[in-house]
């Protein structure tokens, strides 16, 4: 004979099923609540601009290091300062030495002829004598020499000055200049010659005996007047 307990539900249909169903429903609700909570957290994070934290990651991740190098400024272009070279002083490379032109001279005449330097002033050369010259002045060299006279005749109506008149002698084929020996019996011209009168000067020049085949006596009357030339052979 069985005894029925009014509070014992284990024998009623569905006994043992109701608690299981209740547990399943509770787990489903809990899971749903977790999903809803996760969605809410994700939405809040998205609204704040933050990415959801992955499981296992730190809540305060270390920020990636940023480059702290200061950008190099572009260099400013330096203005070009080209120095202007100083003007070079021109230096002549082909300098031409201009020698003074030799004084004009007349055509040579024989030693025995006369020649007028200007109209009315006539010069002539006397006989050339071979003598032994004596050196007494600076630069003079004694030795074989020639002595001669030069005569000037004034055919003009005025007094002629002779203060600028110079006599020289050249010898040899190359017409080398001879040295005048003033202390060997020479006598210069007087300062002037009167109208219609004559004056003489005596001159001594050292001339080697082997260079007397051609001698040239030059009488330079005054500046600007062509030189009178006498040319010929002299005694040895």
Instruction: Report pTM.
Output: 0.58
> How do 109-110 and 228-232 pair as beta strands?
parallel
pLDDT at 27: 46
Looking at domain 109-232, which CATH architecture does it have? Answer: Sandwich (2.60)
CA-to-CA dists, residue 61 to 43, 51, 190, 212, 225, angstroms = 21, 12, 133, 130, 122
| Residue 185 to residue 168: CA distance in whole angstroms | 16
pLDDT at 44: 44
Closest CA to 214 of 146, 163, 167: 146
What is the residue extent of each domain of the chain? Answer: 22-50, 109-232
| Residue 191 to residue 199: CA distance in whole angstroms | 10
Residues 149-192 have pLDDT tens digits of 999 999 999 999 999 999 999 999 999 999 999 877 889 999 99
pLDDT at 200: 96
pLDDT at 119: 97
Which residues of the chain, if any, have pLDDT below 70? Answer: 1-97, 99-100
């Amino acid at each position: 004979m069985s005894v029925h307990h009014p509070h014992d539900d284990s024998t009623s249909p569905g006994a043992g099923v109701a608690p299981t169903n209740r547990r399943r429903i509770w787990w489903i609700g809990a899971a749903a609540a977790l999903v809803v909570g996760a969605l809410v957290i994700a939405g809040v994070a998205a609204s704040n601009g933050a990415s959801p934290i992955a499981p296992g990651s730190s809540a305060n991740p270390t920020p990636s290091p940023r480059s702290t190098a200061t950008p190099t400024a572009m260099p400013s272009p330096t203005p070009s300062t080209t120095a202007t070279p100083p003007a070079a002083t021109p230096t002549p490379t082909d300098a031409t030495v201009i020698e003074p032109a030799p004084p004009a001279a007349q055509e040579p005449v024989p030693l025995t002829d006369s020649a007028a330097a200007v109209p009315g002033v006539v010069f002539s050369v006397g006989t050339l004598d071979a003598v032994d010259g004596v050196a007494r002045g600076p630069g003079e060299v004694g030795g074989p020499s020639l002595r001669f006279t030069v005569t000037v005749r004034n055919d003009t109506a005025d007094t002629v000055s002779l203060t600028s008149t110079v006599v020289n002698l050249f010898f040899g084929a190359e017409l080398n200049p001879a040295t005048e020996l003033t202390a060997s019996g020479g006598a210069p011209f007087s300062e002037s010659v009167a109208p219609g009168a004559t004056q003489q000067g005596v001159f001594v020049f050292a001339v080697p005996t082997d260079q007397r085949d051609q001698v040239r006596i030059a009488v330079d009357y005054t500046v600007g007047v062509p030189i009178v030339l006498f040319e010929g052979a002299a005694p040895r």
